[in-house]
Chains A and B, each alone.
Chain A
Amino acid sequence: MKPLTAIVTGASEGLGKSIALELASRQIDLVLVSLPSSGLPELAEYIRKNLGVKVTVFEADLTSAENCTDLFDVLKRRKVTANILINNAGLGNWAWFGDMNTGFYKKQIELNVIAPVLLTHLFLAQVDDERTAYILNVGSLAGRFVVPKKQVYGATKSFISYFTRCLQLEMDSQNVSISLLSPGGINTKPELLVMNHNLKGIAKATITEPDRVAYEAIHGMFLGKKEIIPGGVNKLMVLLNTILPGFIKDMIIKSNLKPVVKM
């Protein structure tokens, strides 16, 4: 049988890179998408050389709708049918609402909300009905918990969560499996690492390594899991979230925020 092909957005760094490596180690061909000059050709060459799969590179800013359409036009011209879509690209933030400018929030919403919707639509239009298609939408635990300083980010991830659950219901009878990945903090970009390493207590325990998250994500996706929550502590947090009364949750969030706010 022909090898599967997976599109991974935001593939140059962090979780996207780990997911790309995880898929390639399962002999799945890749279409890697990331911003220009983010080291994507080097990563692609490394994966071809070491894991022997086909890798297509698409360097573009997904906040532009034309680039989303372009991606699938390019694949069509090259006669590549994608069987897997990993909507991973996203823009995070950790700042009081007033501290970032309007342009930032616009970009954040375009990348975290509009791009996954468009890509999912375009992806579903080209899938081969004979083979199971998979979509993995990267949400966040921040979409479940109300976390100050993550106001817009958390809201975009809540959107992804709603969008994914709704599609799961709509497409129940079709040969498409859609999963939501809800990770906590991940040790990814070096800039974030400095911040993560200053965290303490519960906040620190929720931080996981990207290769571990990538493994659990892809494993869960192929099992057809509706939601994948990597890491034991994170699973516990979600459980507590469903049973604890609201005022206690607020206390926990505020106490966890304190050491970080001081930074």
Chain B
Amino acid sequence: MNHQDTITAIATPPGRGGVGIVRVSGPLCGEIAKSFLGHQPKPRYAHFGPFYDLQGQVIDEGIALFFPGPNSFTGEDVLEFQGHGGPMLLDRLLENLLLVGARLALPGEFSQRAFLNDKLDLTQAEAIADLIDASSRQAAENALKSLQGVFSSKVHELVEQLTQLRIYVEAAIDFPEEEIDFISDGHVSQQLFTIQQQLSAIRNEARQGCLLRDGMNVVLAGRPNAGKSSLLNALAGQERALVTDIAGTTRDVLKEHIHIDGMPLHIIDTAGLRETEDLVEKLGVERAWQEIEKADRILLLVDAQTTESLDPYQIWPEFVARLPHPERLTLVRNKIDLSGETETCDLSTTPPVIRISAKKKQGVDNLRQHLKQVMGFQNTTEGGFSARRRHLDALQRADEIIAAGYQQLELHGAGELLAEDLRQAQEILGEITGAFSADDLLGRIFGEFCIGK
């Protein structure tokens, strides 16, 4: 079967460290190899050398493998870059691959192509359905996660403005009796300009990497002496990771940034959570609660010697009662070296229970795996980084198309071509914010203009 487009994705679970693989499949592989390696690779031969970006700068060094179709995993030409595992490096490689015309693979798409090209048998096909199912669910979750906060509201605002503009332009085309002269009345031109500016502002922000540096917020909660600091050190110390304290005063929220296998994680200490009359301290407690409410995960740490309970509500009722998302709790029983429990990790219960000794570094690996899993970086390639790369890619394509539309309008007065560009741009941004159909558009037009003779 002949697939038209070339797909690419990071093939290794991000953040696992060591080696990071970016895989490409499709007709562009040969061309890409020449441009990214600087030479034509021999089939099925491991080439060690630098990977170049489009400006000729070295992104990374590693091994490249070229498998011409049909003797490859997918049955198409396949190119693999095996470099250092850092998510930023892999992302930069991916970004450059998209610029030369590859597109991000859909979840499970490599395996799908392999199956459709008779590279996998029927029994393996069952697994592919499961893989696509699981990974697209996770992709959806990660996309949602990536879309929280300021980025999301900016993108939505942008899409809404684009919609407004399309309502105006399409109404002018489909309902000429309304006599909207969108080509020369300046309204469209001005709105287009605003949209372009916003789009480049969002892209600039993204390019500076602040979006990529966002990580998951984990709250470390527990009564005094539950062992929060030891756990923090155990988690952080293992990777010689950067531990910084950005908090201003001890009364403020204490936020620590650590990396687990290169993936960013913000740990919020809830040391100051107690009833108090002190006004300043009260403010600090409120701020801590705001962080807790936003948290992606809450680790409730308990000294295993003090209780045998596995019910968070029994352990700390007034804390659990106030949680907006109790399903985000993980119970961590610390100090098992003293309580005599064994190192276990039970993720099937609600909440999941992990038994550790932070001091003796027992079970900490389990906890790290658990955190990586809830971050969405386990087992599948569709991690949070890919989700963001998808968004950035969509923004870039939309930006290019809107710029072309602006030209059509300003230089050539070609309203119907502008309309086509706006439609394309909205379709692309719809990959982030959800589809917007022709019928949705007509509905908005009928809502805003009194149409019909």
- Our verdict on whether A and B bind, yes or no, reads no
Residues of B within 8 A of A (CB): none
